[in-house]
């Protein structure tokens, strides 16, 4: 029996109604074989008892019995097919995260090679064979394996989404074009796919240009910071050189100068860091969007591209950086002003010292003469301390 099974083709075990391997095969009086359930439902829905193959009409409904011989051959055939599947599955790739698994495999799922838009299922190499060899299944539309096949079917007519309605910007099936979209501008998916793919190319170029502009802006900001740091370092060095010569009485002024310059620099640095952080965040978002656009633009899946296109066609909302720049802090004249202030401070301190000394002299005169009138404001201390 096994040798005979190997000589028979798979088509000889297919029911002409369901196009699948026989289940409980029965024979009609005219000699044709069908699944018991298939021919029963066929006659239940038809107004006459007619053979689907030769169209012979029976005036009374034939009493059908399971053909045990064919049933045994089908069982042998299924067993042989399972053995072949087990043998070939060991050589096929096991489905891993990110792969589309075979919907027919039980236990360990193998990686699917194709998805069928008619069966709404994905198949590994073994389970795909009927679609490549059986006449009834060869007419089915196969595509590269994808998930969520139900999303590729019209929810209203249960037909494949093969067209695109430009009027409503949505994917439709053939029946939609004669109902809800009858007067709309409808084109094949491939035509709209090519158009949207071209738009994605433009979007990608625009995003790349935006990234380049922001990278240039970062360089500009960093350059401004470098100049500011150099100016600050130069002014600090000059301040140190000037104030160091003033010894301890002048060190307080030097520290105040340094503190002031560094405070200005910190404000500039903080502003620059804020701009850079914001720009880098925008670049990160743009790169992410660019990756999505690039991946989508390389997709060969017409429907997937069209469904994802509205969410990635436009660049993400970003800030207009055209007028943004870092105003380099000017330290011009800082040292001069500080020295002038120091001189003024020293002058005030000297004046206070002179006034204090004058009061001391005046008090000395009062103490000596016991007469306040003799304490002339212009009295000065002599060399001998009198």
Q: Which of 61-65, 223-227, 382-386 is predicted with the least confidence, judged by mean pLDDT?
A: 382-386
94 burial level (CB within 10 Å; 0-12, 13-18, 19+):
middle
The proportion of the chain whose per-residue pLDDT surpasses 70, expressed as a percent, equals: 78
One domain for residues 250 and 294: yes
Q: What average pLDDT does the segment 125-146 reach?
A: 82
Highest mean pLDDT among 138-152, 190-204, 229-243, 247-261: 190-204
Q: What average pLDDT does the segment 34-58 reach?
A: 86
One domain for residues 351 and 327: no
Whether residue 302 lies inside any domain: the answer is yes
- pLDDT of 164 over the 90 cut: yes
The answer to whether the CB of 309 falls within 8 A of the CB of 296 is: yes
pLDDT-derived band at 211 (thresholds 50, 70, 90) equals: very high
List the domain range (segments joined by +) for residue 357: 345-386
The answer to whether the CB of 164 falls within 8 A of the CB of 186 is: yes
Whether residue 76 lies inside any domain: the answer is yes
Whether residue 321 lies inside any domain: the answer is yes
Q: What is the pLDDT of residue 3?
A: 43
One domain for residues 304 and 377: no
One domain for residues 228 and 317: yes
One domain for residues 279 and 240: yes
- pLDDT of 246 over the 60 cut: no
Whether residue 102 lies inside any domain: the answer is no
* CATH number, domain with residue 49: 3.30.40.10
One domain for residues 269 and 321: yes
HEC states along 153-219? ECCCCCCECCEEECCCCEEECCHHHHCCCCCCCEEEHHHHHHHHHHHHHHHHHHHHHHHHHHHHHHH
Q: What average pLDDT does the segment 160-188 reach?
A: 89
pLDDT-derived band at 1 (thresholds 50, 70, 90) equals: very low
Q: Which of 86-90, 148-152, 190-194, 244-248 is predicted with the least confidence, judged by mean pLDDT?
A: 86-90
Mean pLDDT for all residues in the chain = 79
One domain for residues 354 and 315: no
Whether residue 108 lies inside any domain: the answer is no
Q: What average pLDDT does the segment 137-151 reach?
A: 80
Q: What average pLDDT does the segment 363-380 reach?
A: 55
What does the pLDDT look like over 279-307, one tens digit per residue?
899 889 889 888 888 888 888 888 888 88
pLDDT-derived band at 381 (thresholds 50, 70, 90) equals: low
Q: Is 357 helix (H, G, I), strand (E, B) or coil?
A: helix
pLDDT-derived band at 367 (thresholds 50, 70, 90) equals: low
Whether residue 338 lies inside any domain: the answer is no
Whether residue 40 lies inside any domain: the answer is yes
The answer to whether the CB of 48 falls within 8 A of the CB of 57 is: yes
Q: What is the pLDDT of residue 366?
A: 60
What does the pLDDT look like over 310-346, one tens digit per residue?
887 777 788 888 888 877 666 666 677 777 777 777 7
- pLDDT of 49 over the 90 cut: no
pTM score of the predicted model: 0.35
As for how many domains the chain has, the answer is 4
The answer to whether the CB of 36 falls within 8 A of the CB of 25 is: yes
One domain for residues 180 and 252: no
pLDDT-derived band at 89 (thresholds 50, 70, 90) equals: very low
* Boundary residue ending a domain (53, 87, 121): 87
d(CA 152, CA 306): 11
The answer to whether the CB of 99 falls within 8 A of the CB of 112 is: yes
One domain for residues 11 and 75: yes
Q: Which of 153-167, 273-287, 353-367 is predicted with the least confidence, judged by mean pLDDT?
A: 353-367
One domain for residues 172 and 236: no
- pLDDT of 380 over the 80 cut: no
Q: What is the pLDDT of residue 292?
A: 85
Q: What is the pLDDT of residue 265?
A: 83
Q: What is the pLDDT of residue 166?
A: 92
One domain for residues 83 and 48: yes
d(CA 271, CA 329): 12
Q: What is the pLDDT of residue 334?
A: 67
The answer to whether the CB of 102 falls within 8 A of the CB of 80 is: no
Q: What is the pLDDT of residue 352?
A: 66
Whether residue 47 lies inside any domain: the answer is yes
One domain for residues 217 and 327: yes
Q: What is the pLDDT of residue 216?
A: 92
């Amino acid at each position: 029996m096994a040798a005979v099974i190997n000589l028979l083709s798979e088509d000889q075990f297919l029911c002409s109604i369901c196009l699948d391997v026989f289940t409980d095969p029965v024979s009609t009086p005219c000699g044709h074989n069908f699944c018991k359930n298939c021919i029963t439902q066929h006659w239940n829905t038809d107004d006459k008892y007619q053979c689907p193959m030769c169209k012979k009409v029976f005036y009374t409904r034939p009493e059908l019995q399971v053909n045990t011989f064919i049933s045994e051959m089908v069982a042998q055939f299924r067993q042989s097919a399972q053995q072949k599947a087990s043998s070939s599955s060991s050589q096929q790739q096991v489905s891993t995260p990110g792969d589309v698994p075979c919907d027919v495999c039980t236990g360990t799922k193998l990686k699917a090679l194709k998805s069928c838009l008619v069966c709404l299922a994905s198949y590994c190499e073994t389970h795909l064979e009927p679609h490549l060899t059986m006449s009834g299944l060869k007419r089915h539309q196969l595509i590269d394996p994808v998930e969520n096949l139900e999303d590729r079917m019209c929810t209203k007519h249960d037909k494949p989404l093969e067209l695109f309605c430009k009027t409503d910007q949505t994917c439709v099936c053939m029946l939609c074009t004669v109902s809800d979209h009858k007067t709309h501008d409808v084109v094949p998916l491939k035509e709209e796919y090519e158009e949207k793919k071209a738009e994605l190319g433009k979007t990608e170029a625009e995003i790349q240009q935006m990234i380049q502009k922001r990278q240039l802006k970062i360089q500009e900001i960093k350059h401004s910071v470098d100049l500011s740091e150099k100016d600050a370092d130069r002014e600090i060095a000059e301040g140190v050189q000037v104030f160091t010569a003033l010894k301890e009485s002048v060190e307080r002024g030097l520290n105040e100068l340094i503190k002031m310059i560094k405070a200005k620099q910190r404000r500039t640095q903080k502003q620059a860091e804020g701009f850079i952080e914001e720009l880098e965040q925008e670049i990160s978002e743009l790169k992410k969007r660019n990756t999505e656009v690039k991946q989508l633009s390389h997709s060969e899946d017409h429907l997937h591209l069209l469904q994802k296109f509205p969410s990635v066609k436009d660049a993400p909302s970003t800030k207009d950086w055209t007028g943004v720049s870092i105003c380099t802090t000017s330290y011009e004249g800082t040292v001069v002003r500080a020295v002038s202030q120091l001189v003024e401070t020293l002058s005030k301190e000297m004046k206070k010292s002179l006034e204090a000394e004058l009061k001391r002299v005046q008090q000395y005169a009062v103490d000596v003469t016991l007469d306040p009138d003799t304490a002339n404001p212009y009295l000065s201390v002599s060399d001998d301390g009198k």
